[in-house]
Amino acid sequence: MLEVANRTAYNEDHEAFRETVRKVFGEHMEPHLDQHEAEGIVPRSAWKALGEAGMLCPTVSEENGGLGLDFGFNCVLAEELAYLGSSAGFTLQNDITVNYFERLGSPEQKAKYLPGMISGDIITAIAMTEPGAGSDLQGIRTTAVEDGNHLVINGSKTYITNGQNADVVIVVAKTDPTAGAKGTSLILVDADTPGFARGRNLDKIGQHSADTSELFFEDVRVPKTNILGGENRGFIHLMEELPQERLSIAVSAMGGAQRAFDEAVKFTKERKAFGKTVFEFQNSKFTLADLAAKLQVGWAHLDWAIARHLKGELTTGEASAAKLWHTEMQWEMVDACLQLHGGAGYMNEYPIARLWRDARVQRIYGGTSEIMKEVVSREI
């Protein structure tokens, strides 16, 4: 269980919410983790359970049918989900896609989608990455060509979180091919739209319980009113959401790192070798001491970043630095903790194996570590 006594980012309401999160996860997630991993997807029943408990999109305003809570509540859920060892796509909906709908959506779009996103009846995805375009949005080749009052979308996307479950997808497409990244728009495509098709649920190194998919668009015809935000302003809208997206990944990184550390402490204190516990060897104690120091620094910095974001002061560079440091630290943590497990760490029956696998992509999605360094360097 995550230790929260010395945290500074949260108040009593956040911690009461944490107890709800733990209870719901304990009933609807923890007993089924192996099933989710084996099936490659978290069932809609789990989404519904979270929705009923007020755990989906808690930041949506009361005016739009939500609880009107601050982003700290999202962070509580993200920490607990990562500590649990699940890669369910709840945080994508809570921390990323819902902001696009509430901030940019028309009254009709908000009324159509937000209630279901809050209840768990509507699952969302955002489709940016393509087979030939990742961090560089200028390389996007999916097009949305105007045809009267409609747009006709053609192209393909890959590595899309919630791709199998999604009821609606925010598609990043070129509406002005001559304008590079600045000619992109965000377009809503419902999953039952003719011409839209899901590809395979991708076979990944880790995060097996996250449905990550290919998506295909063949003459998908949608009304121009499906544009989310301004036409040809997709790139700007995406950039506006990056600080929160990258902070969200940093939050998850800390939760996963802490769980790996706790598993290593437990294992080394129980496992014996040469007549004493593995923990009693100086190498084990010194390794764990070094990792404990990094966790202490990490949690303090994360609380600082969360507090900055809640005040609307976290910059893109600061969020990128947080994503860079916390995900790199997470990888160092899980790898060292797996090593402390010895051969047992290589066995999937031990939680550390899943934590290790799931951590690897953290340094890639949401902007690679290399891209984060580039972004941070711009503010130096």
Look at the alpha carbons of 58, 61, 63, 64 in this order and tell me if their dihedral is positive or negative: negative
**End-to-end Cα separation, the chain, in angstroms:** 38
Rounded to 5 degrees, what angle do the CA atoms 68, 74, 79 make? 160
Rounded to 5 degrees, what angle do the CA atoms 53, 75, 294 make? 140
The torsion angles phi and psi of 44, rounded to 5 degrees, stand at: -65, -25
Token readout for 136 is 């560089």
What is the rounded CA–CA span in Å between residue 181 and residue 200? 28
For residue 93, give the nearest of 68, 67, 114 by alpha carbon: 114
Token readout for 124 is 């969302």
For residue 172, give the nearest of 124, 228, 210, 220 by alpha carbon: 228
Q: How far is CA 308 from CA 4, 66, 239, 302, 305, in A?
A: 19, 23, 18, 10, 5
Do residues 147 and 105 make contact, with C-beta atoms less than 8 angstroms apart? no
What is the rounded CA–CA span in Å between residue 25 and residue 46? 9
What is the rounded CA–CA span in Å between residue 353 and residue 208? 12
For residue 256, give the nearest of 37, 82, 111, 136 by alpha carbon: 82
Given the residues 37, 245, 263, 318, select the one marked as catalytic: 245
Look at the alpha carbons of 347, 349, 350, 352 in this order and tell me if their dihedral is positive or negative: positive
Q: Is 218 a catalytic residue?
A: no
Q: What is the DSSP letter of 28?
A: H
What is the rounded CA–CA span in Å between residue 236 and residue 217? 23
Q: Where are the beta strands (DSSP E) in 108-239?
A: 124-127, 143-147, 150-161, 168-174, 184-190, 196-201, 212-223, 227-228
CA atoms within 13 A on the CB side of 346: 3
Q: Which residues are part of the catalytic machinery?
A: 245
